[in-house]
Structure 1
Amino acid sequence: MTSVKYRLNDPGLAPRRTRMDIPGWAGERQPRANGSHEQVWHCVPFSEGAQYGIELFYPYDFEMQVTTRDGQLEITGDWGEPPSPGLQWPPFRNFGGAFYTYQILLDLKVPPGFAIRTEPHPRFYTDRTDTCPIAVPALVRNFWPMLFFCVFKAPAEGRTHIFRLGEPFAQVIVIPEEANFTVEPMSPDEAAERELQSRRIHASRPMLAKETEWVSSTDTVFDGTYRHLHRAAKEKARKS
């Protein structure tokens, strides 16, 4: 178990392991049953990916909006006086027109050999309003004692990003500092082994899908094969 410790400068809301809001940004609480509409949480790979990181929350009582109008970036909010002396205020800045920054002042301490990487919060992928902020990926190594600011992609012309109290605006994942891997073709034996695995899964689908197959409201067939194998793999890893 890897421990990630945090330190906040006021104002701030404590980060937490990312959760899926159902109902909410992750969809409605619809069963895996005939006639249900597809929800992103129905997909195990998306659900695992969405909950892999740490979500960051907007801490201010007032709503903040970032809009691109006539090619110009506009940042509006009821700023008032700075909540503490010496704090950059407002905490949002135009960054070259195509981006903007938010002074977050968050310290996330990860173990040696690890780093944190910012990325869009998973609700960005389910947002139908184009109002969810789009955090720009950035890798910060553990020798750096403070995440001073987050960078966001500016909204498209006529669009507005909205920050509201308690809403997550970005996700952080914990990864190795160095990407120590290569990309290369499989050997013939490795490729043959993977092909055999694929064929075995395909041949087993009718059995694995028994009593779990359902058809959505848009006639998409879900058979539960991945979910079955996912549970089996986790159980095997737990026992090993």
Structure 2
Amino acid sequence: MHKVKYRLNDPRLAPRRTKLEIPGWSGSRDPRTDGSHEQVWHCVPFSEGAQYGIELFYPYGSELHVTTKDGRLLLEGDWGERPESGIQWPPFRNFGAGFYTYQLLLDLKVENGLAIRTEPHPRFYTDRSDTVPIAVPALVRNWWPMLFFCVFKAPGEGRTHIFRSGEPFAQIIVIPEEASFELEPMSENEAAERELQSRRIHANRPKLAAGTEWTSSTDTVFDGTYRHLHRAAKEKMRPG
């Protein structure tokens, strides 16, 4: 079990492990039954990926609207008086032609050999309004004492990103600081083993999916094959 320690400039910026919001950005509570609308939380790989990191929430009471108009980036929000903490105010500013930044002043300390990486919050992938901020991936080593700012991609012409109080705007994941792997083709034996596994799953899919098949409101067919194998694999990995 790894520990991630944090130090805050603003207590309202307290991070938490990313959670699926149901109902909310991850969908409504539609069951996996015929006629239901498919939701992203129905998908185990997405659900696990979405909950893998740490989510950050917008701490200010007033909304911020970030818009590109006639090629210019506009940051519109009611910020009030500058706080006594001496931080950059407003905490947002243009960053080059196609980006903008948010001064976080958030310190996340991870163990040796690990690093933190910023990325878009999972709700970016489920949003249909095109208003969710797009955090730019960045890897920060554990010897760096503070995440001073987070960079966001500017919205397209005529588009608007909206920061609302209490809404998550980015996710941070903890990863090895070095990508110490190499790509190489599988050996013939490895490839044959993987192919055999694939064929066995395909041949046994009716049995593995028994009782879990359903057709969504968009006539998309789903079943629980992956969920069943996922549950079995996790059980096999449990101590004892």
**What is the deviation of 1:229?**
0.3
Deviation by residue 1:155-208 (Cα, 9 ceiling, x = unmatched): 000000000111000000000000000011100000000000000000110001
After TM superposition, list the pairs within 5 Å mapping 1:17-96 onto structure 2. Answer: 17-96=17-96
How many residue pairs match? The answer is: 240
Counterpart of 1:215 in structure 2 is 215
Deviation by residue 1:12-52 (Cα, 9 ceiling, x = unmatched): 32100000100000001000001001100000000000000
**What is the deviation of 1:230?**
0.3
CA distance in 2 between counterparts of 1:78 and 1:111 reads 39
Question: In structure 2, the residue corresponding to 1:65 is in which secondary structure?
Answer: strand
Q: Which residue identity does 1:177 align to in structure 2?
A: E
Moved more, 20-29 or 9-18: 9-18
Counterpart of 1:160 in structure 2 is 160
Runs of 4+ displaced beyond 6 Å: none
CA distance in 1 between counterparts of 2:197 and 2:120 reads 34
CA distance in 1 between counterparts of 2:14 and 2:180 reads 32
Q: Which residue identity does 1:173 align to in structure 2?
A: I
**What is the deviation of 1:11?**
5.5
CA distance in 1 between counterparts of 2:186 and 2:201 reads 20
Q: Which residue identity does 1:25 align to in structure 2?
A: W
**What is the deviation of 1:81?**
1.1
Question: In structure 1, the residue corresponding to 2:6 is in which secondary structure?
Answer: strand
Counterpart of 1:12 in structure 2 is 12
CA distance in 1 between counterparts of 2:86 and 2:55 reads 26
Q: Which residue identity does 1:58 align to in structure 2?
A: Y
Native 8 Å contact 1:67 1:160 kept in 2: yes
Counterpart of 2:133 in structure 1 is 133
Q: Which residue identity does 2:79 align to in structure 1?
A: W
**Structure 2 unpaired stretches of 5+:** none
Native 8 Å contact 1:66 1:160 kept in 2: yes
Q: TM-score, normalised by structure 1?
A: 0.98
Native 8 Å contact 1:10 1:84 kept in 2: no
CA distance in 2 between counterparts of 1:20 and 1:203 reads 33
**Two-structure CA RMSD over aligned residues (Å):** 0.9
Question: In structure 1, the residue corresponding to 2:192 is in which secondary structure?
Answer: helix
Deviation by residue 1:77-105 (Cα, 9 ceiling, x = unmatched): 10111222421000001011200000001
**What is the deviation of 1:59?**
0.4
Counterpart of 1:115 in structure 2 is 115
Query: Could you tell me the percent identity over the aligned residues?
Result: 80
Pairing 1:102–2:107 present = no
Counterpart of 2:196 in structure 1 is 196
Deviation by residue 1:120-176 (Cα, 9 ceiling, x = unmatched): 000000010010000000000000010000000000000000001110000000000
Q: Which residue identity does 2:183 align to in structure 1?
A: V
Native 8 Å contact 1:67 1:155 kept in 2: yes
Q: Which residue identity does 2:229 align to in structure 1?
A: L
